[in-house]
Amino acid sequence: MATAVNVSATNNAEIDGLLSGVKWSGTITYSFPDAPSDYSNPYYGGGSEPTTSGFASAPTQIQAAINYAIGLILGYTNADIQYAGTNGADIMVAQSPAANPTAYAYYPGNYSSGGDVWFGTQYNFSLAKLGNYYFTTALHELGHAFGLKHSQEAGGPANVAVPSAHDDSEYTVMSYRSYVGASTTGGYTNEAYGYSQTYMANDILALQTMYGADYTTQSSNTVYTWNPTTGQEFVNGVGQLAPGGGAGGSANRIYETVWDGGGIDTYDLSNYTTNLSINLNPGASSVFSSVQLAYLGNGHYASGNVYNAYLYNNDARSYIDNATGGSGNDTIVGNAIANTLNGAGGNDRITGGSGNDTIIGGAGTDTAVYAGNRANYTVSYSAATQSFTLVDLRSGSPDGTDTVASVEYFQFADQTVATSTLMGPLTLESVGTTALVLDAQNYKLNPTAGGTGPILKNGGAAIIAGNYGAWSPVAAEQVAGGGYDVAWKNASTGYFSIWSTDSNGNFLSTLTPEVPGTDSRLISLETSFHQDLNGDGNIGAALITIEAQGTTSLVLSAGNYYLNPTAGGTGPILKNGGAPIVAGNYGAWSPVAAEQVSGGGYDVAWKNVSTGYFSIWSTDSNGNFLSTLTPEVPGTDSRLISLETSFHQDLNGDGSVGASGGPASVTIENAGSTSLVLSAGNYNLNPTAGGTGPVLKNGGAPVIAGNHGAWSPVAAEQVSGGGYDIAWKNASTGYFSVWSTDSNGNFASTLTPEVPGTDSRLKALEPVFHQDLNGDGAVGAAPVAIVDGGFVFNQNAGGTTLSGPSEPPDPMPAPADPQTASEQWTQPAGHDDVVADNLMDVLHNLHASGFLLS
């Protein structure tokens, strides 16, 4: 059996703010008693927990959570912890109505109740799963049993709280704050699976201060990976306990801190497609997926998915060594030791920081970032290894000596340099009679047959590679008279510009301004360069038939659109204001269909490839724009659909040409007495029993599918008085808003603003729609309040909410006293409706009324 002993202050508030002042010394035993007789009688230092009617063993799910937490503490510390079955032990974990409403624990003490953990019977702790309140309660209470106090309270040997910047669930499970700055009396506001899944960085450091740091944990080479759809962690391929039991969905959260004792350790995120933000510094956090971030309430999300533990006594063995990104555009930051940082796919930004790092950009356009100016580094290139060596020449060499491969740019404090300019002579192209060669950051116009030509210049000064931002020369050719044509390309926009130079390579004029690759002027010059500059598969102009339905063929040639007869011959060029339309000059918009109509003019359908929207032009017989037949409309718009027959095409891809060529309607839902039906871009509120109801309208005008961005109706029901309630959902945010309409389907008012699916007002309306709109498994509201020491935990708990707080068991006057029980987690007094109203107020006034119609 262990003995409780005093703990001294460290003079570091990050640690002292969690120290109660007592800890265990010796072998610590724990057990799950199954009978009151397992406890001493009398139960010194405690209350009547063992003898209160209703005493029971802790639920098996809580026992599993305690065992998990014990495993964590064993991994963090050198504590000697032994399981004692159901017998007496230093830490005895059981259930008793005396602990109602939730749970509490006693600090280590040399008395009967010292270290014991009690769970009440009022709430269903058998619902404990990794990441939810019940499970994290086990971590919190066991923390007390090992000597941790609440982080927000002064006390302990230094009589301090944890500094406010780290007093929240991101840094400690002992805090009463869901997020930094949250109230300590208003209750937790975390989502159901938004609770810490491990002890966090401050907890780990405080436990190690009391019990020492265990550097044998994962002391060999370790690879950490996570599942993007369930949040489950894998250590060297072995699956760990999964959040929510691996259910995914709302349980797909990652909210943990990693402690690793030694070896070469790697965060491998190669299975992620998101834009990762990985930071290997102690105490820092990494974001793998915004979907997997824990929502902490009131608009606050956790700053990361995975946090790194602090160094204990500055011992470098617990650093994470390496990181591998995914296929997204990742940001990776190393730490003070030698890291291997691999961006993998995507356009990545990688900062090695201190230490002699290995940086591998991988596929995509990658950038290695350095803190000093370009002149602070020597850069050398090895053709054999195809890698650069960068040496920091500043005092102390703060960026070390790095080996860098597969990186396109070096970003220094004063400039960004393309790595291609640092490789020595590099032939960029050698088609035709002139080779474009990059040598020592200058561009040379050398004869293909051999020898040296002039350097490309502007105003007599040599062009320096990288000094023109994203623009760089991609082709050059000597022309009649001895001068040169030089093609430049913007790597960001894909645009081109052609220079004309004299025989010394000095700029004279531009043959084209900045133009897209589809521009006819660029295309006509491709033959001069003997190259397919724009990558359209042709050198010079080519005919591309966009469509040939009906009597008119829409053809792209040399950057212009022709309205040719399908039967043969050439028609007019599509124009606006008398000037030909140049392909690419309208951004994401381009013509996709054309047809000659009665009177000799043409209808021309345009489509935006980014938004999927359409607009229809009417032109005269010369192809010149006259008017728009439709504004910018989605593919579901009835006006577009009605014009499909003019083009003889299914423009919107719904499987039919016009409104009647395919399914007449799509039933969105038909629960209850009203069926919500989408037909020809309108929403009909039809009786489920049969027949046709009104069209959904706003201001008397039908609501057009797609015209409200990500918002669309998902449910409708006729209510007393003849009007309708309409539930809208935002497909991007998952938020809801509910309309009330009159009997003609015309908008009257909003019953709710924009609210998340957890909002009580939305839940209260679910029975009206006969549906589980928010997907929580229930139609209507479920109990929402679970409590612990002034925290309200917002999730379905079962049972009833509390009418008042409970007092802590036998509270002691000072933490230094070995017979001091940690403060019990309780809920503020109030009835069910008061608690629900308060929760609603603090949780759901999150958005401005951007979607509200009034």
Q: What is the C-alpha separation between 114 and 92, in angstroms, rounded?
A: 9
HEC per residue, 149-182: CCCCCCCCCCCCCCCHHHCCCCCCCCCCCCCCCC
Q: Which of 141, 153, 191, 256 is catalytic?
A: 141
Q: Report the candidate in 572, 529, 539, 365 with the shortest Cα–Cα distance to residue 436.
A: 529
Neighbours of 92 (CB within 10 A): 28
458 to 32, 501, 790, 803: CA distances (angstroms): 82, 9, 72, 81
Residues with Cβ within 8 Å of residue 386, at least 6 apart in sequence: 405
Residue 669: active-site member: no
- Which residue, 832, 737, 848, is CA-closest to 792? 832
Residue located via tokens 């999927």: 612
Using CA atoms in the order 673, 678, 682, 688, what is the torsion angle rounded to 10 degrees? -20
**Strand-strand pairing, 785-788 and 331-333:** unpaired
The upper half-sphere exposure of residue 221, i.e. CA atoms within 13 Å in the direction of its Cβ, equals 3
HSE-up (13 A, CA, CB side) for residue 410 = 30
Three-state secondary structure readout of 524-578: HHHHHHCCCCCCCCCCCCCEEEEECCCCEEEEEECCEEEEEECCCCCCCECEECC
Residue with tokens 């939305």: 762
CB atoms within 10 A of CB 695: 17
Amino acid letter for position 490: N
The answer to whether 477 and 528 have CB atoms below 8 angstroms apart is: yes
The helix (run of H) or strand (run of E) holding residue 93 is: strand 91-95
SS3 at position 291: helix
Residue type for position 4: A
How far apart CA 503 and CA 482 sit, in angstroms, is 5
Helix (H/G/I), strand (E/B), else coil: 629: strand
Cβ-contact 645, 639 below 8 angstroms: no
Q: Which residues contact 374 (CB under 8 A, 6 or more apart)?
A: 410, 412, 414, 415, 417
The three-state secondary structure class of 835 is: helix
4 touches 23 (CB < 8 A)? yes
Q: Which residues are catalytic?
A: 141
